[in-house]
């Protein structure tokens, strides 16, 4: 007997988070077509592809990249468990970005035809994807410690949605990729991590980050907001 998407969702740790933006979350579970495992380094979709591929990340992480005018690849977004991939492509003929698994990852593939038939609800889902993109575009407004602090707080928020600790983080990117994503030099990433650790805000051990002082890290991440209080 085939297992319905609704039944599969009920056994998934992300069940409460994937479609909570919609008015009727249960209805959207029927949009799940299948599951796919993507090995680290492989693409779910690539720039210029006309084929529509929309998905929800179930486990692992994906980096979304696009080419700069010089031909280099810039990481413009990270999709973590519970995040959507490819929704913006529903309104475009071809993908403007590539989505590559940074670790072995698993996704729930969505029926893009049914998404197209429900534009109002799909737009609600698209908001989280667009919010993440707008955050990355705003990075130039902040100094390196603020960029790093905001990144860690965002990872903590994602952990909390998944029922994990918001104080203990596992970075999905290595330092070179982190530098690319946060638009920093590699040396700046190392200096910033050391500075935040010296200030007692975090503890660094490889890719594991422990947030020791969340209030202090938030003040560092959003200095102008703190100044206005």
Query: What pLDDT, in 10s, does the model give residues 58-107?
Result: 999 999 998 888 888 899 999 998 888 888 767 665 567 899 999 999 99
Nearest Cα to Cα of residue 79 among 97, 95, 56: 56
Question: What is the CATH topology of the domain spanning 5-132?
Answer: Jelly Rolls (2.60.120)
Q: Would you place residue 202 in the very low, low, confident or very high pLDDT band (cuts 50, 70, 90)?
A: very high
Hey, where are the domains in the chain?
Answer: 5-132, 140-228
Mean predicted confidence (pLDDT) in 131-155: 91
Is the pLDDT confidence value at 180 over 90?
yes
Distance between CA atoms of residues 203 and 212, nearest Å:
7
What CA–CA distances, in Å, run from 134 to 21, 116, 163, 193, 211? 18, 23, 26, 24, 25
- State the pTM of this model: 0.83
Residue 25 in tokens: 């979350």
pLDDT of 193? 97
Question: What is the CATH topology of the domain spanning 140-228?
Answer: Arc Repressor Mutant, subunit A (1.10.10)
């Amino acid at each position: 007997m085939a297992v319905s998407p609704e039944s599969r969702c009920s056994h998934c740790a992300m069940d409460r988070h994937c479609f909570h933006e919609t008015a009727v979350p249960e209805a959207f579970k029927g949009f799940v077509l299948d599951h796919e495992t993507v090995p680290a380094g492989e693409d779910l979709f690539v720039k210029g592809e006309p084929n529509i591929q929309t998905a929800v990340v179930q486990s692992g992480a994906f980096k979304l990249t696009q080419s700069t005018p010089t031909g280099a690849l810039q990481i413009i977004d990270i999709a973590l468990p519970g995040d959507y991939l490819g929704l913006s492509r529903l309104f475009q003929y071809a993908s403007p970005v590539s989505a590559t698994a940074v670790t072995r990852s698993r996704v729930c593939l969505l029926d893009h035809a049914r998404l197209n038939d429900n534009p109002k609800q799909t737009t609600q889902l698209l908001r989280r994807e667009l919010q993440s993109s707008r955050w990355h575009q705003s990075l130039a407004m902040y100094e390196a410690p603020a960029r790093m602090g905001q990144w860690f707080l965002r990872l903590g928020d994602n952990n909390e949605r998944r029922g994990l600790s918001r104080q203990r983080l596992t970075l999905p990117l290595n330092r070179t990729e982190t530098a690319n994503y946060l638009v920093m030099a590699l040396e700046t990433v190392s200096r910033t991590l050391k500075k935040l650790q010296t200030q007692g805000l975090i503890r660094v051990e490889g890719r594991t980050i422990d947030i020791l002082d969340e209030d202090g890290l938030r003040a560092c991440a959003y200095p102008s907001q703190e100044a206005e209080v």
